[in-house]
């Protein structure tokens, strides 16, 4: 066999074998689209190379043209696979690519033209030649060069994606950049093959792609994967191996931790001990940046193959503003707790003493002072009630109260609160419309505060000589609605949502604004809602809708049964 022919056959045969041999190793790539793209690239280049081998060795002209056409078609498939791989590797989902359907249509049309070249000759013509050895010479036509130019544009886009990702990571990606560059070297042979005596006018990219595949998969496989992981993160990212040593990082991480420079292979603890300490707990640490202490949240994402840990991705998120706000909230919480202690102890105790002394004057003062004493007692009692609201409000903000939910008997709670307000407001009329069903709602002991505030609000904001308040309870499929009706002045539509806002006091109300806001906060914590409607013929209806504890428990049991059966 002619040495030049043998060298051509050997180059393409070795390229095909290298691509096929690399295919099993592709399974080690965890990212699905990257894995599929590289597998498609290797397989298409292998078929492309085999097509050229068949073209060179087939004994007949028809066989040579058939094999050449197969390689010709799969060369174009390889271009698409290359772009798919580059897009997936650099974090650009191929299935969401713009003009994807147009690209597929162009591919189908050009492939059809290649397959049918024998009828139109727009791609290539053939003629027997003797130099550099006897062979069926391929003479490329205009359409070939147009498609070749389009292919190189697509390939260049893929190169740009890869080099951009390598640059963004900030790590030493020069070995991979060199491999990518080697892939482009055969372009010169393709462009000038018809001008060199010992080259045939073929596409010589398969050897370059094969070299890229072998180099990345067998020599720099970890580098390929770590650059993809660190580069895919918009946040500062560090990739560690199973032993906690730095394998890669991106530019953003190096800006925060300058000690990352030249740290490949070093334990993270030697790079930054504070960050290393947070790996197991995903906590927040403080990092000094040019004299400015910043807070960063450290998140650790492990990677495993089967049950074997292979590494972890560490991301750093700047949470300085969040931490400052959290510290402000802690200070405010401490202040609220201090206020709660003052309200519960000092003010309540002092008011109890004052009321005790004032009650000793009942029946002992002149008739003209009786109204004054009565008013002082009522205002004093109101102050005590306000301290109860303030206490309940502070307690409602604590995490323990929010999470301690259990079934609460509605009939018992409504009855107890109506009895309490009847004693506080003997001049008002309270009634229950219909029968209160034997039902329980999801809540806690703070449900009493919700009902008491609504009942007291219905009296205090009432302008009638005899305030009338009616309570009704009705059930729906999954909820229980408690409504409190009054015969007061009502609430305009534009105020119906505002009355539940912080600091809202209702119409000309002398109240503190805590009561209805407390109702809103507590109802939300119970997983319910509260709103206000118009009463007929006048007044307002405050409706509290809560979760039916019995129905929710049945639903939970049903879901558990379904999960166990499945």
Taking the model in full, what pTM does it have?
Answer: 0.45
User: How large is the average pLDDT for residues 147-157?
Assistant: 83
Residue 445 within a domain: yes
Give the range of the structural domain holding residue 46, as residue numbers without chain letter. 3-224
User: How large is the average pLDDT for residues 454-478?
Assistant: 92
Are residues 9 and 158 both part of a single domain? Answer: yes
CA dihedral 283, 286, 289, 294 (to 10 degrees): 80
User: How large is the average pLDDT for residues 435-464?
Assistant: 90
- Residue 562 and residue 453: Cα distance in Å, rounded? 41
pLDDT classification of 220: cutoffs 50, 70, 90: very low
What sign does the CA torsion over 307, 312, 313, 318 have? positive
Find residue 470's DSSP bridge partners.
431, 485
Q: What domain count does the chain have?
A: 3
| Domain CATH code at residue 43 | 1.20.1070.10
Are residues 184 and 241 both part of a single domain? Answer: no
Are residues 269 and 413 both part of a single domain? Answer: no
Are residues 159 and 294 both part of a single domain? Answer: no
| Domain CATH code at residue 253 | 3.30.450.20
Are residues 280 and 192 both part of a single domain? Answer: no
Most confident of 293-302, 391-400, 437-446, 547-556: 437-446
User: Do 471 and 426 form a contact (C-beta atoms < 8 A)?
Assistant: no
- Indicate if the pLDDT at residue 400 is higher than 80: no
Q: Of 190, 224, 258, which residue is a domain's last?
A: 224
Are residues 203 and 291 both part of a single domain? Answer: no
Are residues 170 and 312 both part of a single domain? Answer: no
Are residues 115 and 175 both part of a single domain? Answer: yes
Residue 389 within a domain: no
Are residues 319 and 456 both part of a single domain? Answer: no
pLDDT single digits (tens) 12-43: 898 888 888 888 878 777 777 878 888 898 89
Residue 67 within a domain: yes
Are residues 32 and 156 both part of a single domain? Answer: yes
Of the candidates 260, 267, 298, 296, the one whose C-alpha atom is nearest the C-alpha of residue 282 is 298
Are residues 409 and 438 both part of a single domain? Answer: yes
Q: Of 265, 299, 324, which residue is a domain's last?
A: 324
Residue 353 within a domain: no
Angstrom CA distances, 80 to 15, 86, 108, 140, 219, stand at 19, 10, 12, 22, 25
Are residues 92 and 213 both part of a single domain? Answer: yes
Q: Of 224, 257, 291, which residue is a domain's last?
A: 224
């Amino acid at each position: 066999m002619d040495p030049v022919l043998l060298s051509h056959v050997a180059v393409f045969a070795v390229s095909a074998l290298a691509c096929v041999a690399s295919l099993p190793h592709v399974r080690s790539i965890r990212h699905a689209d990257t894995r599929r793209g590289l597998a498609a690239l290797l397989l298409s280049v292998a078929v492309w190379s085999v097509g050229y081998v068949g073209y060179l060795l087939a004994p007949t002209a028809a066989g040579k043209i058939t094999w050449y056409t197969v390689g010709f078609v799969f060369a174009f498939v390889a271009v698409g696979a290359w772009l798919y791989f580059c897009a997936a590797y650099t974090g650009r989902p191929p299935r969401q690519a713009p003009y994807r359907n147009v690209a597929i249509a162009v591919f189908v049309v050009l492939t059809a033209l290649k397959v049918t070249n024998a009828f139109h000759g727009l791609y290539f013509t053939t003629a027997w030649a003797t130099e550099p050895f006897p062979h069926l010479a391929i003479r490329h036509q205009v359409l070939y060069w147009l498609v070749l130019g389009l292919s190189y544009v697509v390939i260049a886009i893929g190169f740009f994606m890869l080099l951009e990702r390598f640059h963004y990571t900030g790590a030493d990606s020069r070995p991979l950049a060199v491999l990518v560059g080697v892939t482009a070297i055969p372009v010169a042979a393709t462009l000038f093959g018809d001008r060199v005596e010992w080259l045939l006018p073929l596409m010589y990219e398969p050897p370059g792609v094969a070299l890229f595949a072998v180099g990345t998969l067998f020599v720099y496989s970890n580098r390929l994967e770590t650059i993809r992981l660190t580069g895919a993160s918009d946040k500062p990212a560090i990739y560690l191996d199973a032993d906690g040593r730095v394998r890669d990082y991106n530019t953003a991480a190096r800006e925060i931790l300058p000690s990352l420079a030249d740290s490949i292979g070093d334990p993270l603890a030697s790079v930054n001990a504070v960050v290393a300490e947070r790996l197991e707990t995903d906590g927040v640490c403080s990092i000094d940046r040019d004299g400015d202490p910043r807070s960063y949240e450290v998140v650790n994402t492990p990677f495993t193959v089967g049950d074997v840990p292979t590494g972890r991705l560490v991301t750093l998120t700047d949470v300085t503003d969040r931490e400052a706000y959290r510290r402000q909230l802690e200070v405010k919480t401490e202040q609220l707790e201090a206020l709660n202690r003052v309200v519960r102890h000092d003010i309540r105790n002092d008011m109890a003493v004052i009321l005790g002394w004032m009650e000793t004057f009942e029946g002992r003062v002149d008739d003209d002072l009786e109204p004054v004493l009565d008013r002082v007692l009522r205002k004093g009692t109101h102050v005590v009630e306000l301290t109860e609201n303030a206490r309940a409000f502070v307690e409602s903000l604590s995490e323990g109260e929010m999470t301690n939910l259990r079934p609460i008997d509605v009939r018992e709670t409504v009855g107890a609160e109506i009895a309490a307000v009847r004693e506080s407001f003997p001049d008002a009329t309270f009634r229950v419309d219909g029968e209160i069903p034997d039902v329980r709602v999801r809540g806690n002991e703070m449900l009493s505060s919700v009902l008491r505030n609504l009942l007291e609000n219905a009296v205090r904001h009432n302008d009638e000589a005899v305030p009338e308040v009616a309570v009704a309870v009705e059930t729906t499929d999954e909820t229980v609605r408690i409504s409190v009706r009054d015969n007061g002045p009502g609430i305009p539509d534009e105020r119906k949502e505002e009355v539940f806002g912080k600091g809202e006091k209702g119409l000309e109300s002398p109240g503190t604004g805590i009561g209805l806001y407390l109702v809103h906060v507590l109802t939300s914590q119970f997983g319910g809602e509260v709103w206000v409607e118009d009463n007929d013929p006048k007044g307002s209806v405050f409706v509290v809708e809560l979760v039916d504890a019995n129905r929710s428990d049945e639903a939970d049991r049903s879901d558990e049964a379904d999960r166990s059966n499945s």
